[in-house]
Amino acid sequence: MKKQIWKKIRMRNIERIRKRRPANTNNHLIQKMDGLEKKIEMLTSEIQALRKEFSHFGNNITSVESDPSLPSTAQALTFAGHEQNFSSAELAPGVIIGVAELRNCRRSNYQRFTRDLMSVIFTEEDMAKCSVLGKRGVAGRGAAQRPPLPYDKVQAIIYHVQEQFFINPSLIRQAMASKLSDVRKSLQKRHSVT
């Protein structure tokens, strides 16, 4: 019933358009509208046919779920003998952190996100004794060279921060160096107080 009413309304609108304009003006638009109407009718009839075809399934889906020959949900989540752990996320091969920890990393700016990721991935001891690239800084000419942080973890942090903020990797490395410096200072204060 509704379909017939809408069809009549469309036909009236098409007739009004035809009456207002000369026959040669916008004929191609009217032809396109007619073609689109035919396509819409064809698609709606196909949808109705599919609904009728699949209506006989009803609630038989529960019988498929209880079929013992099909894998369970846990088995389906197993890929190539390795279970997927949805409580952890792999930032890079071998760099795995908890999803909750990743969610808790502040993303207000790239420095905070970088610093929070570093706190999740590295221990304070690692951050205190290492530098980002293992190079000696300009200010530390007389100081001993620190070992670099693990390259794959540094690259994972750079990749994820770049993915979020689209900035130069050198700025991310500067933020990482700043975090390392702050960790060293806080550890020195703690050791001097005790």
Confidence of residue 37 (pLDDT cuts 50, 70, 90): confident
SS3 24: coil
Q: Please tell me the predicted confidence (pLDDT) of residue 85.
A: 53
Q: Which residue has the higher pLDDT, 62 or 54?
A: 54
Can you tell me the distance from the alpha carbon of 45 to that of 194, in angstroms, rounded to the nearest whole number?
81
Nearest to 135 by CA among 173, 175, 182: 173
Instruction: Give the integer Cα–Cα distance in Å for 145 and 132.
Output: 11
Residue 30, pLDDT > 90, answer no
* Residue 142: predicted pLDDT: 64
Q: What is the crossing angle of helices 169-193 and 110-121, to 10°?
A: 60
In the predicted model, is pLDDT for residue 28 greater than 50? yes
* Type of residue found at 49: A
